[in-house]
Amino acid sequence: TLTAAEKASLVALSGKISGHAEALGAEALERLFFSFPQSKTYFPHFDLTKGSDDIKRHGGKVLSAIGEAAKHVDNLEQALSKLSDLHAYNLRVDPGNFKVLAHCIETVLAAHFPAEFTPEAQAAWDKFLAAVSAVLTSKYR
Ligand code: HEM
């Protein structure tokens, strides 16, 4: 579980992300697809060229969902219930992909918000993204 200080740090950085969700999300997805090519198999219907509209639009959706989740850290199961159904029942994304994506998101935050992304903030994001991933993969069997 996250401490009050960790929650505050998540919410503070999410606020800075929200105006740039597409650009930051696109960069995280590009890093995911480049460093872990298996992840591309879930997006056969997307143009996965660097900077494509598909990548920007989807990156924006992913980071906006994360920003929204940051406001509900104590209630992630409920807040992410629909996304959890989607990823488990419809998409069947292998859970290993979530770890790499979390790492890519942290890398993007470190690169764009070096002052805010302190070791403490990183620890908070790491816990938070692991919790989000756990919920999105909880309905697999
Ligand atoms: C769709 C969030 C991880 C594959 C989505 C959508 C959101 C989302 C918000 C759009 C849902 C909608 O349109 O209603 C997240 C979050 C993740 C995550 C917050 C983890 C932090 C992953 C991973 C993969 C993945 C690791 C696979 C490598 C997909 C695919 C779609 C999708 C294939 C459907 C895309 C489309 O056809 O538009 N996700 N996702 N997601 N996600 Fe995820």
Burial (CB < 10 A; 0-12, 13-18, 19+), residue 95, is middle
One-letter amino acid for residue 75 of the chain:
N
Q: What are 22-64's pLDDT values in tens digits?
A: 999 999 999 999 999 999 999 999 999 999 999 999 999 999 9
141, pLDDT greater than 70:
no
Whose C-alpha lies nearest to ligand 1, atom 24?
A: 93
Whose C-alpha lies nearest to ligand 1, atom 42?
A: 87
Q: What is the pTM of this model?
A: 0.96
Burial (CB < 10 A; 0-12, 13-18, 19+), residue 107, is middle
Residues making up the chain, counted from first to last: 141
Q: What are 74-83's pLDDT values in tens digits?
A: 999 999 999 9
Of the candidates 133, 107, 98, 128, the one whose C-alpha atom is nearest the C-alpha of residue 8 is 128
Task: Give the H or E element holding residue 131.
Answer: helix 119-136
Decide whether any atom of ligand 1 lies within 6 Å of the 91 Cβ: yes
